[in-house]
Amino acid sequence: MVKVHKVLKLKHLVFFINFLLFTFICNAQTKKDSASYGGQFSLGMRNTLSVFTDAQSVGMGSGGEFRIRLDKLINTEWFADYISTDIQGLGYRRDAHIGWSVLFYLSKNPLTVGKVTFYLLAGHCFDYTKVYSVYPGVASAQRWSSAVQGGMGIHWNLTKKLDISLLSQYMLHLGTNVITSIDNIGSYQYLSITQGPGLSREGHLLTTLTVNYEIGNLWGRK
């Protein structure tokens, strides 16, 4: 009985050691696979639709971006775009954004070819805004501001290097207050533009379509 008991103990010990080795190997492989994603560098272009601005009009714009991947499930996106908004034919609003976002993938295999990958994003940007009337003599306004953004999106991975992405994010600007209103003089309308003191919290919803292609690895990995 003592011999059988010792044999069982030995079997349990061997099983436990094998389990630890298996766990270690799997964990090491996971870290290796995750690390192999780091440094991926992609270039892309973007088209953006802006809605729900104080101008109560829809803006459209375009720009470029690049991505630097940090991990299997974490990516970064650095972008610049220029958006033009027609304010009911009475004036225009121009917005230029330069910013970055962190992408958090919700899939264990974010680079699966032919499948859609969902992600959450959060980030920050700097922007320049100018609002002016189509009529001469009407005051215009401009400002520099800072903004934070958050939202979600999807990648459609056409290949391991090429993807089409669609994202929607809400951008909240913190800057000086630019107010627009439409005034009537007889049968004519014109755009009134004022720039008040203090800070405003102006937000708008951005929907962006992008195309990105991986061109290399910054860390030197293949």
- What are the sequence ranges of the domains in the chain? 1-37, 39-217
Q: What is the mean pLDDT of residues 61-89?
A: 93
Q: Which residue has the tokens 């033009």?
A: 84
CATH tag, 39-217: 2.40.160.20
Rounded mean pLDDT, 171-175: 86
Report the distance separating Cα 67 and Cα 75, nearest Å. Answer: 7
Task: Describe the chain by its helix, strand, coil percentages, rounded to 5.
Answer: 15, 65, 20
What is the predicted pLDDT for the residue at 153? 97
Interval 87-113: pLDDT, tens: 888 888 899 999 999 999 998 888 888
CA distance 206 to 34: 31
